[in-house]
């Protein structure tokens, strides 16, 4: 193992990234050995970064956390399965490809194998088929991926780069479609025409997980509904008068004495004179507004609940583009006591957006006298698509769903089974699962993504027959139903009566991301790999996507494998800017990761990241990076000192050396158990504190002895102890500072430190014949510090000679001191040292005359 050291004259950090990146790649240091059995493997489900974005310090932060664990596990002897993925699926890539190549996707077009985009995008976008569009995406993202890979390598991520995947590539599409077909066969996936949350700008359904609430101004409008039988009105408050035409009932709480007499009676809507019943439902809040509300199809998800549970009819007015659609009053479903007046009131609203329609309706209600008071402004929370600009509407459409509600208890149990780091992040998952209010809508009316592998028959009259559903054989996957043809049909029959059409939708990106373990582990494809890697060990990710990525991945494994997808979830926090706000690109904060890595060194930046504990939001702080860089520098210099002399071999016998090794053994135990518990910050903290004391106290105490001032045996003891300690410390630091540690390791050891065995306390104790006396080392350090203080107060250099020192302390501590007396005197340059009994440590000194002072 140990060879004669080759220590550079002036060690430097510069250039270590390039040197070791190349060496690790050449030697295959991080290559996954797939012959190892499952319990010798540590499998990590790495988050695939979105390639159409750019990497920022937040990525550097959380990916470093993962790498710390990977490196620790590898040194512990586990074969680390650590592939990297690229997320090129979804809207951001869709937009980027459109602009870059000057194309737009038209799923109705056939695939053109010869298509090439123009060199420069034209003014008019060229329409291309979905498969052509996806080809362009893959082509563009390959370039992005190179940049990302270079940064990750420079940061020192110990990834096996021979195993990368892309979420839009064929293998991922295959897994995604296969998993869908399996769910479909078992009834866990189903299609339904139902009211769904809908973004009117993107013109697609969205899922609960993609919603966010925003505070918006609104206003209560008090409207008068005339009772159908006789005189009197019912007053209701609404924030959405523009939906009056869609009103199908009024609702109050069943216990509300004010409205109990009205249950079962009916009223007429203002303007449209539609007769609607007054019904009771416990969701109605007597405290809100007038205590009785109008139910519209559909103003919000409560309306959907009321509509479903009270079995009310549908009168939909909001269209997919967010405008009000045409209605024929008096026709079936649109009955009115005065159809002519209703039509006259409604017609001006057709084609208006909700906002414009509201102003018009208010105008009409004011004129008719049904608006009982001026609108009362309020602010309230409105649901938005997280990427959207206008409030979501609820539009009835045909969508695919995965069952979640039926599995709520099972999913909660999975959450308890999963080991969370930190533990308290489980609460977020439970909040989310308990708050689920519907099955997961997984279809999107977009172009770029994984298509549903489904075709439908076309009836003789040209209508799509959704009951006649056709799916491909599993062996055919992946397919694109917009260009592939179901068995027994020809392309000529596409869209023809008696023929077929493909399902036009694509899957939610989370529907593909949620099978990342199945993609990387070779589910249904590479059964050997699957058996060695699944269920995986660790899912690392940030806390903001617990409800999306983490939740959906747990769901998919629960449904497909009846297991967790991984045993541990390591949750990273966010990087906050110095003002404690979430760091974001829009802030104009142009700190590029590569710039930081170059300025502070990858080890320095990693040090900063490692100081951010699991789940903890952490301030962006170049000060910490500087400290990390200084630590790396110190490691170089301390190693140079320790290895700088030919070591006399010999037993470790000196009390100071034995005490050091005892403390070192304890450190190894503490760091190891901390890392096993994913407490990488604590392990670093302890190792770092030990290392600085090793440098500042221990090395100073033994410096003279190791130079041979007290004989060869004393020197051999010091040399052996400091070399063993250095070997252990370098290995303890290796996950954090992979570059400088491998550099130092290469001076005297063969092979990479990253494949070296993780140190053990047993290894350290085996080198020391007897246990060290911790008090001896402690007293040595305290006396040395007191001598330094005396020199500092006397404003003399640390090398100044002390003619005579008196050390006073308790008998027990003085006895311990005798073991370390010679080392302390050497370190303090003390000529004569006497001890006296006392009740606590006190040191007095007399300095030697300074040579030049009297001349």
Partner RNA sequence: GCGCGCUUGGCUCAGCGGUAGAGCACCGCCUUCACACGGCGGGGGUCCUAGGUUCGAAUCCUAGAGCGCGCACCA
| Cβ at position 12, least distance to RNA in Å | 6
Residue 633 binds RNA, judged by CB under 7 A: yes
- Complex with RNA: residue 49 or 218, whichever CB lies closer: 218
Site for RNA in 250-279 (CB under 7 A): 251-252
Report the residue from 141, 176, 177, 208 that binds RNA according to the rule CB under 7 A. 208
CB of 834 closer than 8 Å to CB of 814: no
| Cβ at position 415, least distance to RNA in Å | 13
- Complex with RNA: residue 682 or 804, whichever CB lies closer: 682
Count CA within 13 A, CB hemisphere, residue 139.
12
Residues that contact RNA, how many (by CB under 7 A):
84
| Cβ at position 450, least distance to RNA in Å | 24
Taking the CA atoms of 210, 212, 218 and 224 in sequence, report the sign of the dihedral they define: positive
The residues, any chain, with a CB within 8 Å of residue 185's CB and separated by 6 or more, are none
The residues, any chain, with a CB within 8 Å of residue 399's CB and separated by 6 or more, are 191, 192, 193, 194, 196, 205, 441, 442, 443, 505
| Cβ at position 8, least distance to RNA in Å | 10
Site for RNA in 412-431 (CB under 7 A): 424, 427-428, 431
Part in contact with RNA (CB under 7 A); list of ranges 82-90, 207-215, 272-280, 451-459: 207-215
Part in contact with RNA (CB under 7 A); list of ranges 15-23, 631-639, 727-735, 748-756: 631-639
From residue 282 to residue 301, what is the string marking binding to RNA with x (rule CB under 7 A)?
-xxx-xxx-xxxx----xxx
Residue 616 binds RNA, judged by CB under 7 A: yes
**Alpha-carbon gap, residue 488 to 408, rounded angstroms:** 40
Residue among 124, 94, 118, 92 nearest 107 (CA): 94
Bridge-based pairing of strands 506-507 and 443-444 is antiparallel
| Cβ at position 479, least distance to RNA in Å | 34
Residues counted in the chain: 855
- Complex with RNA: residue 230 or 623, whichever CB lies closer: 623
From residue 298 to residue 337, what is the string marking binding to RNA with x (rule CB under 7 A)?
-xxxxx----------------------------------
Q: Which residues are bridge partners to 247 per DSSP?
A: 296
- Complex with RNA: residue 438 or 535, whichever CB lies closer: 438
Report the residue from 52, 512, 618, 717 that binds RNA according to the rule CB under 7 A. 618
Site for RNA in 346-405 (CB under 7 A): 380-381
Report the residue from 100, 111, 115, 641 that binds RNA according to the rule CB under 7 A. 641
Residue 725 binds RNA, judged by CB under 7 A: no
Report the residue from 367, 413, 798, 803 that binds RNA according to the rule CB under 7 A. 798
Q: Crossing angle, helix 57-75 and helix 680-693, to 10 degrees?
A: 80
Report the residue from 435, 488, 588, 849 that binds RNA according to the rule CB under 7 A. 435
| Cβ at position 262, least distance to RNA in Å | 14
Residue 810 binds RNA, judged by CB under 7 A: no
Site for RNA in 551-580 (CB under 7 A): 580
**Segment (H or E) for 208:** none
Residue 15 binds RNA, judged by CB under 7 A: no
State the first-to-last Cα distance of the chain, in angstroms, to the nearest integer. Answer: 55
**Segment (H or E) for 608:** helix 593-610
Site for RNA in 660-689 (CB under 7 A): 681-682, 685, 689
**Segment (H or E) for 542:** strand 536-542
| Cβ at position 825, least distance to RNA in Å | 16
- Complex with RNA: residue 405 or 689, whichever CB lies closer: 689
- Complex with RNA: residue 152 or 220, whichever CB lies closer: 220
**Alpha-carbon gap, residue 372 to 369, rounded angstroms:** 7
Residue 640 binds RNA, judged by CB under 7 A: yes
Residue 627 binds RNA, judged by CB under 7 A: yes
The C-alpha torsion from 47 through 50 and 51 to 57, rounded to 10°, is: -80
Say how far residue 559 (Cα) sits from the centre of its chain.
Answer: 23
Helix (H), strand (E), coil (C) string for 639-662: HHHHHCCCCCCCCCCCHHHHHHHH
Q: Can you spell out the DSSP letters for 77-142? A: T-EEE--EEEB--SHHHHHHHHHHHTEEE-TTSPP-TT----SS--SSPEEE-HHHHHHHHHHHHH
The residues, any chain, with a CB within 8 Å of residue 231's CB and separated by 6 or more, are none
Residue 621 binds RNA, judged by CB under 7 A: yes
| Cβ at position 424, least distance to RNA in Å | 4
Part in contact with RNA (CB under 7 A); list of ranges 24-32, 99-107, 110-118, 628-636: 628-636
Residue 695 binds RNA, judged by CB under 7 A: yes
Site for RNA in 521-550 (CB under 7 A): 543-544, 547
The token duo for 494 is 């596409």
Part in contact with RNA (CB under 7 A); list of ranges 232-240, 339-347, 467-475, 476-484: 232-240
- Complex with RNA: residue 338 or 700, whichever CB lies closer: 700
Residue 785 binds RNA, judged by CB under 7 A: yes
- Complex with RNA: residue 516 or 681, whichever CB lies closer: 681
- What backbone torsions phi and psi does residue 108 show, to the nearest 5 degrees? -85, -10
Residue 613 binds RNA, judged by CB under 7 A: yes
Site for RNA in 235-254 (CB under 7 A): 236-240, 251-252
A 10 A CB-CB count for 693 gives: 15
Distance set, CA 655 to CA 151, 692, 699, 721 (Å): 47, 20, 14, 11
- Complex with RNA: residue 164 or 624, whichever CB lies closer: 624
- Complex with RNA: residue 150 or 355, whichever CB lies closer: 355
E-state strands within 301-392 = 376-385
Site for RNA in 462-521 (CB under 7 A): none
Residue 791 binds RNA, judged by CB under 7 A: yes
Q: How many helices (H) and strands (E) does the chain have?
A: 24, 30
- Complex with RNA: residue 96 or 383, whichever CB lies closer: 383
A 10 A CB-CB count for 196 gives: 24
Residue 793 binds RNA, judged by CB under 7 A: yes
- Complex with RNA: residue 311 or 580, whichever CB lies closer: 580
- Complex with RNA: residue 92 or 291, whichever CB lies closer: 291
**Alpha-carbon gap, residue 639 to 646, rounded angstroms:** 13
Part in contact with RNA (CB under 7 A); list of ranges 48-56, 81-89, 392-400, 433-441: 433-441
Report the residue from 49, 131, 218, 449 that binds RNA according to the rule CB under 7 A. 218
- Complex with RNA: residue 237 or 773, whichever CB lies closer: 237
| Cβ at position 674, least distance to RNA in Å | 9
Residue that has been written with the tokens 């009117």 in this structure? 200
Q: Which residues of 267-287 are buried (b: 16+ CB within 10 A; e: fewer)?
A: bbbbbbbbebbbbbbeebeee
| Cβ at position 832, least distance to RNA in Å | 21
Site for RNA in 58-97 (CB under 7 A): none
Give the CA angle between residues 54, 59, 62 to the nearest 5°: 170
**Alpha-carbon gap, residue 211 to 197, rounded angstroms:** 9
Part in contact with RNA (CB under 7 A); list of ranges 327-335, 388-396, 453-461, 621-629: 621-629
Report the residue from 91, 619, 815, 841 that binds RNA according to the rule CB under 7 A. 619
Taking the CA atoms of 385, 389, 394 and 395 in sequence, report the sign of the dihedral they define: negative
DSSP SS3 for 837: strand
| Cβ at position 641, least distance to RNA in Å | 3
């Amino acid at each position: 193992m140990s060879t004669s050291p080759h220590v550079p004259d002036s060690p430097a950090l510069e250039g270590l990234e390039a040197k070791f990146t190349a060496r690790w790649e050449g030697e295959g240091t991080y290559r996954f050995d797939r012959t190892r059995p499952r319990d010798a493997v540590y499998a990590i489900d790495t988050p695939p970064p979105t390639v159409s974005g750019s990497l920022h310090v937040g990525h550097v932060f959380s990916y470093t956390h993962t790498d710390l664990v990977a490196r620790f596990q590898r040194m512990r002897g586990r074969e680390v399965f650590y592939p990297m993925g690229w997320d090129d699926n979804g809207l951001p890539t869709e937009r980027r490809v459109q602009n870059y190549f000057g194309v737009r996707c038209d799923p109705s077009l056939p695939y053109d194998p010869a298509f090439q985009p123009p060199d420069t995008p034209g003014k008019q976008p060229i329409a291309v088929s979905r498969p052509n569009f996806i080809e362009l995406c893959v082509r563009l993202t390959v370039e992005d991926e190179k940049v990302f890979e270079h940064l990750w390598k420079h940061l020192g991520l110990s990834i096996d780069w021979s195993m990368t995947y892309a979420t839009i590539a064929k293998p991922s599409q295959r897994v995604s479609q296969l998993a869908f077909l399996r769910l479909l066969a078992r009834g866990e996936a189903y299609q339904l025409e139902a009211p769904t949350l809908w973004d009117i700008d993107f013109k697609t359904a969205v899922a609960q997980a993609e919603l966010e609430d925003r505070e918006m101004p609104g206003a209560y409008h008090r409207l008068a509904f005339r009772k159908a039988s006789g005189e009197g009105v019912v007053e209701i408050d609404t924030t959405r008068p523009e939906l009056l035409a869609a009103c199908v009932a009024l609702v109050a709480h069943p216990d509300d004495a004010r409205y109990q007499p009205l249950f079962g009676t009916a009223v007429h809507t203002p303007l449209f004179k539609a007769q609607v019943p007054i019904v009771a439902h416990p969701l109605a809040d007597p405290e809100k507004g007038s205590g009785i509300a109008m139910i519209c199809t559909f103003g919000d998800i409560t309306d959907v609940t009321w509509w479903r549970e009270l079995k009310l009819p549908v009168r939909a007015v909001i269209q997919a583009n967010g405008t009000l659609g045409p209605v024929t009053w008096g026709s079936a479903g649109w009955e009115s006591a005065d159809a002519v007046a209703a039509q006259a009131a409604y017609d001006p609203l057709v084609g208006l957006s909700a906002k414009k329609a509201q102003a018009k309706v208010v105008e009409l209600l004011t004129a008719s006298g049904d608006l009982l008071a001026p609108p009362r402004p309020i602010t309230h929370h409105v649901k938005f698509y997280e990427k959207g600009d206008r409030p979501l509407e609820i539009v009835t459409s045909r969508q695919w769903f995965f069952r979640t509600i039926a599995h709520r208890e099972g999913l909660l149990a999975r959450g308890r089974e999963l080991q969370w780091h930190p533990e308290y992040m489980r609460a977020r998952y439970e909040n989310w699962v308990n708050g689920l209010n519907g099955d997961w809508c997984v279809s999107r009316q977009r172009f770029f993504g994984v298509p549903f592998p489904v075709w439908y028959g076309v009836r003789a009259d040209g209508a799509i027959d959704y009951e006649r559903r056709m799916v491909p054989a599993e062996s055919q996957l992946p397919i694109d139903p917009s260009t592939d043809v179901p068995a027994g049909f020809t392309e000529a029959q596409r869209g023809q009566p008696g023929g077929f059409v493909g399902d036009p939708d694509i899957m939610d990106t989370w529907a593909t991301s949620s099978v990342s373990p199945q993609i990387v582990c070779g589910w249904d494809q590479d059964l050997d790999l699957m058996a060695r890697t699944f269920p995986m060990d660790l899912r690392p990710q940030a806390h903001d996507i617990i409800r999306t990525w983490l939740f959906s991945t747990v769901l998919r494994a629960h449904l497909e494998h009846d297991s967790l997808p991984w045993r541990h979830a390591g949750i990273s926090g966010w990087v906050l800017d110095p003002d404690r706000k979430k760091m974001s690109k829009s802030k104009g904060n142009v700190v590029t990761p590569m710039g930081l890595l170059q300025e502070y060194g990858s080890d320095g930046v990693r040090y900063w990241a490692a100081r951010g504990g699991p789940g903890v939001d952490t301030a962006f702080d170049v000060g910490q990076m500087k400290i990390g860089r200084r630590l790396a520098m110190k490691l170089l210099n301390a190693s140079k000192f320790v290895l700088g002399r030919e070591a006399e071999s010999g037993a470790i016998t000196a009390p100071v050396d034995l005490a050091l090794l005892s403390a070192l053994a304890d450190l190894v135990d503490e760091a190891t158990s901390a890392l096993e518990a994913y407490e990488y910050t604590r392990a670093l903290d302890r190792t770092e504190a030990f290392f600085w004391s090793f440098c500042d106290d221990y090395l100073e105490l033994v410096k003279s002895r190791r130079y041979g001032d007290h004989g060869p045996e004393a020197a051999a003891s010091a040399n052996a102890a400091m070399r063993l300690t250095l070997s252990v410390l370098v290995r303890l630091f290796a996950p954090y500072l992979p570059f400088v540690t491998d550099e130092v390791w290469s001076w005297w050891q063969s092979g990479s430190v990253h494949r070296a065995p993780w140190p053990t306390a047993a290894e350290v104790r085996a080198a020391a014949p007897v246990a060290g006396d911790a008090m001896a080392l402690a007293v040595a350090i305290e006396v040395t510090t007191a001598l330094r203080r005396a020199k500092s107060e006397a404003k003399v250099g640390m090398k100044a000679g002390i003619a005579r020192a008196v050390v006073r302390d308790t008998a027990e501590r003085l006895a311990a001191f005798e073991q370390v007396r010679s080392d302390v005197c050497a370190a303090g340059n003390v000529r004569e040292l006497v001890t006296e009994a006392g009740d606590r440590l006190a040191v007095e000194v007399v300095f030697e005359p300074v040579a030049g002072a009297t001349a």
